[in-house]
Amino acid sequence: MHGEYKMPGGKLVVIDLDLHDDRLANVQLSGDFFLEPDSALQTIHAALIGQPADADEATLASVLHDALSSEVMMYGVSPEAIAVAVRRALHRSPEA
Amino acid sequence: MMRTDWRDHDWQLIHTIPQSPTLHMALDDVLTHEVGAGRRAPTLRIWEWAAPAVVIGRFQSLRNEVDTAAAQRHGIEVVRRVSGGGAMFIEPGNTITYSIYAPLSLIKDMSFQQAYAFMDAWVIEALGELGIKAWYQPLNDITSAGGKIAGAAQAHRGGAVLHHVTMAYDINAAKMLEVLRIGREKLSDKGTTSAAKRVDPLRSQTGLPREAVIARMIATFRRLRGLGDDSLLASELADAESLAQGKFASAAWLADVP
């Protein structure tokens, strides 16, 4: 499943994921954003994996805020934008 | 850590023979590390390209961004860089690329937006001297009334900031669009994507040879910031060659974000 969101004033945020037993699995975030350190990408994946398929945007954003330390710097991307891309992936058919 | 100014540093220039795309990726990695460790003075490196390339950002999906079959057909190498940002389509002679390796103290307490504009203020000035009124377009573009001129990316590593920029000198838009995939969602906000933004290259804007534009840029940096002439150490080149082969040429790194 694939979802894209162009963050207003920011960058393209893309999520690819699968569902296993109604939970997020194999989550991959990508896009032309900036993220420091780059290992934060794996932190984001780990935080999203296992979340229920019906988690809403606010819940997903909150999970990401909790997982990311204050050391992580984001430019052109945010927990809220990632949450939108996840919801879009979950709402769209695989070929969308 | 105290905030430093450009003139607090002994800036050095590296401008060498054309090098392969993977070696360029590795040199950025090695030289950022060397400046961060204090073994190298802060440096401006002007790139010369030995081969055409698509350079994708650290977090871009290889298959979403690049038509690898088309790239192969055109003999274009696809590489992933260490910084975020968007894909660049490079043909030797068509782009002007440079890197600045600086201690983090130079941009201490700046927002990302401030730091990008700060690192390229000298280029805005150099473009003005060439008759182009250019300005910074957040997040990371240099633009002009005619269109986009350049895109920048930064990465922070162990006490140093890498700031690198690719400027369009000339462009083969048809070939670029064959090789880069341009998604619809990307077009939704600003009407266009980084790679396809209406680019107004320096060749048509200045009427000058690429070498003359580079010479003006170097002269402006030298006047504003101070700049000595340097070259790569044999050890730096050896480290970069090893990293180019071991990491940047590897399928694992290229497909790190598949």
Q: What is the ipTM of this complex?
A: 0.94
The CATH number that applies at residue A23 is 3.30.390.50
How much is the pLDDT for B14?
98
Residues of A in contact with B87 (CB under 8 A): 32
Q: Does any domain span residue A96?
A: no
Asked whether the beta carbons of A78 and A10 are under 8 A apart, the reply is: yes
Which residue of chain A comes nearest to B82, CA vs CA?
A: A38
**Chain centroid to CA A47:** 9
pLDDT lower than 50: segments of chain A: 93-96
* Gap between the Cα atoms of B249 and B8, Å rounded: 37
Give chain B's domains with CATH numbers: 6-241 (3.30.930.10)
Q: What is the residue-wise DSSP string for A7-46?
A: -TTS-EEEEEEEEETTEEEEEEEEES-EEESTTHHHHHHH
Q: Are strands B43-47 and B12-15 parallel, antiparallel or unpaired?
A: parallel
Give the residue numbers spanning the domain of A57: 2-91
How much is the pLDDT for A95?
45
Q: Kindly state whether A92 is in contact with chain B, defined as any CB-CB distance less than 8 angstroms.
A: no
How much is the pLDDT for A92?
62
Q: Does any domain span residue A57?
A: yes
* Gap between the Cα atoms of B199 and A85, Å rounded: 28
* Gap between the Cα atoms of B155 and A36, Å rounded: 7
Q: Which residues touch B121 (CB under 8 Å, ≥6 apart)?
A: none
Q: Do B139 and A11 touch (CB under 8 A)?
A: yes
* Gap between the Cα atoms of B108 and B114, Å rounded: 10
Q: Does any domain span residue A60?
A: yes
Q: Do B60 and A73 touch (CB under 8 A)?
A: no
Q: Do A38 and B58 touch (CB under 8 A)?
A: yes
**Residue B36 to residues B101, B103, B156, Cα–Cα distance (Å):** 8, 6, 9
* Gap between the Cα atoms of B121 and B124, Å rounded: 5
* Gap between the Cα atoms of B5 and B26, Å rounded: 27
**Residue A14 to residues A32, A87, B5, B197, B217, Cα–Cα distance (Å):** 9, 11, 38, 20, 36
For A13, phi then psi, to 5°, come to -120, 120
How many CB contacts within 8 angstroms connect chain A with chain B? 73
Which residue of chain A comes nearest to B255, CA vs CA?
A: A30
Q: Which residues touch A39 (CB under 8 Å, ≥6 apart)?
A: none
Q: Does any domain span residue A52?
A: yes
Residues 12..41 of A with a Cβ closer than 8 Å to B: which?
Answer: 12, 14, 16, 28-38, 41
How much is the pLDDT for B190?
46
**pLDDT averaged over chain A?**
94
| Spatial CA neighbour of A14 closest among A96, A85, A91, A90 | A85
Burial category of B247 from C-beta neighbours within 10 Å (exposed 0-12, middle 13-18, buried 19 and up)? middle
Q: Which residues share a beta bridge with B168? A: B95
What is the number of domains present in chain A? Answer: 1
The 3-state DSSP class for residue B116 equals helix
Per-residue confidence in pLDDT tens, chain B, 258 aa: 899 999 999 999 999 999 999 999 999 999 999 999 999 999 999 999 999 999 999 999 999 999 999 999 999 999 999 999 999 999 999 999 999 999 999 999 999 999 999 999 999 999 999 999 999 999 999 999 988 999 999 999 989 999 999 999 998 888 888 999 875 555 554 444 555 567 788 999 999 999 999 999 999 999 999 999 999 999 999 999 999 999 999 999 999 999
Q: Do A75 and B60 touch (CB under 8 A)?
A: no
Structure tokens given for B32: 């950022």
How much is the pLDDT for A94?
47
